[in-house]
Chains A and B, each alone.
Chain A
Amino acid sequence: MKRNLCELEEIATRLRLRVLEMVAATGQGYVQQGLGAADIFTALYFAEARHRPEDPSWPDRDRVFLTTAHNTAIFYAALAECGYFDIKKLETYVQDGSTLEINSSERMGPFVEATCGSLGQGLSVAVGTSAAVRRQGRLTRCYVIMGDGEMQEGQVWEALMSAAAWGLDNLCVILDFNEMQCEGHMDRVMTLRPVCEKLEGFGFATHDIDGNDLGVLLNTFDAARETRGRPTFIKARTLVGKGVKALEGLMAHQLMFPPELAEKAMAEIRGTVA
């Protein structure tokens, strides 16, 4: 699945455009979060993770757990782009009766590795999976895309402790460090700083990177794969709204996305594609 950086940049841009289109259709959905995390999803789904969209239950597949299950516009856009389902289906996003719910549910299919809308639980499932596949001698790696605000949940630290204690080097936690939660900037709610130092102390190999730099993301995944005896934690600093000037850094968790803003945003992204 390795592609060159130019191709990956194009994919990331395409995914950003899809996020805007999906959220613009109803004004519902998480738009700035999707734009911010687009590079993480691109790097994982189109370069790093071993998976087979034509055989989604492939037992040896790498697992990608999205614990911030509300960040679905970008998640579904990436899945559709991979070929897990028809791109047309994205038009049903957040529509009554659609499996493309605003919080992802495994009723969509096995590519939703766990139902994680209740924050703080997904990492435990990933740790359990990592331990089980290791015992079974599989080469499977587990990737977890987590939210920074989510780390305020106590269960996360229970899971981190067990992952490090068990030396799960097949586990790679990617913290989508966008510094935004429901009530605004994370530091104003309950700061997580210094997160890498905390995780070092827990026994993780840590990386503090620009989560909007595809080249850096890929290099960091390489380092994680080569790390032995301990799990990896990547603090991926992302910019909410990345790619759309009017949305960059806009700290509004649930943005009612006005149609005129959506139009301008889509024009801006399309401009970068051309």
Chain B
Amino acid sequence: MTDHDLEEFEAADFINRTHKPVPRSYGDALVAAAHEDPRIVCLTADLATPTETDIFRDTFPERYHNVGIAEANMIGLAGGMARTGEIPFVHTFCAFATRRCFDQITMQAAYPNLPVKIIGFLPGVATLLGVSHQAIEDVAMMRTVPNMLVLDPSGPEYHASAVDMARAHDGPVYLRLKRPETPPEHGIIPKSLTAGKGIVAHDGQDITIVAAGLSVGHALVAVGELAREGIAAGVIDMPFIKPIDADLICNAAGRTGALVTAENHSVIGGLGSAVAEILADAGIGLPFRRVGLADRYAEGGSTAYLFRKYHLDSTAIAAACRDVVARKKG
């Protein structure tokens, strides 16, 4: 590439960035963390802007590595860096960050229990880019990996806190992030997570919806629908899929006697499975349903369209709640 080409490329990159209206909560948080902690280094597999790491690239060029389109290598590189006292944050889309390099994650991050922080974007079906880019099994895979912390925050207001949680965990982390598609109406007011704890997003005594990621917003909309029918649904936002807040789940199950899970992921192996395991281990039997992608592939489309079509949205969650509440009464 000539210097001239390079200048044009940089100019185009600048235009892209200045026209991007969404706030970059994650990218800013990572840079803030890196100011505090010189051990933090940043790797990306040719996806700086979509993973908001262009800010890091421009702030700490000597601690930034674009490794090219080579995710398996990226995990190994991060393993080497982590063995040498650095805290590597690696970035790509969720599908590539997990499916494509599961063995590398296992052997070069998890088995040695190294502080390799795997940051994935485009969780679940939420992308136009189609099946190749849709991570519908990433949570299931990462949940099976010993030493791994799995985080699926519900919105950008938790991104900064999620970065803190990732740093604080002395081992590998999988952080599943969704960038807002439009700028939040009132900006982003950061909120804090507590390690290993779920968040009671709404109280309700008839049924509890345990949700994660994008599904939390849909669950809260479902609460409104159900309220009009006289069903008081509570919502637990469960950012920590692993380790999961078992006490909160069991208490909610005991209090409301009915439970629905909601996730932007396959119904197999993700949040719904994790909750079911907790309930079964605790010997709690109750009307229960999992809302998620029904063991099938989706296709590219707008997030709203896909959530509706594949029964992940508030309507689907409300329907599952009605069914479960009816079973409780019956």
Contact = CB atoms under 8 A, between A and B. Distances in A.
Q: Do A and B come from one complex?
A: yes
Contacts of A165: 68
Interface in A95-129: 106, 113-118, 120-129
B171 interface: no
B74 to A, nearest CB: 8
Which of A59, A135, A136 counts the most B-chain CB atoms under 10 A from its CB?
A135
Given A124-B79, A124-B108, A155-B104, A129 B73 contact: no
Interface string B30-72: 0000000000010000000000000000000011010110101
Contacts of A129: 80-81, 83-84
A158 B83 CA distance: 20
A184 B82 CA distance: 37
A117 B111 CA distance: 12
Given A114-B79, A115-B112, A128-B81, 18 more contacts: A114-B108, A118-B107, A121-B108, A124-B73, A124-B74, A124-B75, A124-B108, A125-B83, A128-B83, A130-B80, A131-B80, A132-B84, A132-B85, A136-B84, A136-B85, A155-B104, A159-B73, A165-B68
B235 to A, nearest CB: 41
Interface in B124-142: none
B152 interface: no
Interface in B93-129: 103-104, 107-108, 111-112
Interface of B: 41, 62-63, 65, 67-68, 70, 72-86, 88, 103-104, 107-108, 111-112
Contacts of A128: 76-84, 88
Contacts of A131: 65, 77, 80-81
A106 B80 CA distance: 13
B80 A158 contact: no
B68 A127 contact: no
Contacts of B65: 131
Interface size class, chain A:
20 to 34
Interface in A147-169: 154-155, 158-159, 161-162, 165
A125 B68 contact: no
Top 4 nearest A-B pairs (CB, nearest first) are A124-B76, A128-B80, A128-B77, A158-B73
A165 B82 CA distance: 21
Nearest to A165: B68
A121 B77 CA distance: 9
B76 A121 contact: yes
The dominant DSSP class at the B interface is helix
Contacts of A135: 62-63
Contact of A161 (B68, B74, B80, B103): B68
Contacts of A161: 68, 70
Contacts of B77: 124-125, 127-128, 131, 159, 162
18 contacts: A59-B85, A114-B112, A115-B107, A121-B76, A121-B104, A124-B76, A124-B104, A128-B84, A129-B81, A129-B83, A131-B65, A132-B81, A135-B63, A155-B70, A155-B73, A158-B72, A159-B73, A162-B70
A196 interface: no
A116 B85 CA distance: 20
Given A127-B77, A131-B80, A158 B85 contact: no
Nearest to B103: A118
A114 B104 contact: no
A269 interface: no
Nearest to B104: A121
A229 to B, nearest CB: 18
A128 B108 CA distance: 11
B73 A162 contact: yes
Which of A125, A128, A136, A158 counts the most B-chain CB atoms under 10 A from its CB?
A128
A154 B107 CA distance: 17
A65 to B, nearest CB: 9
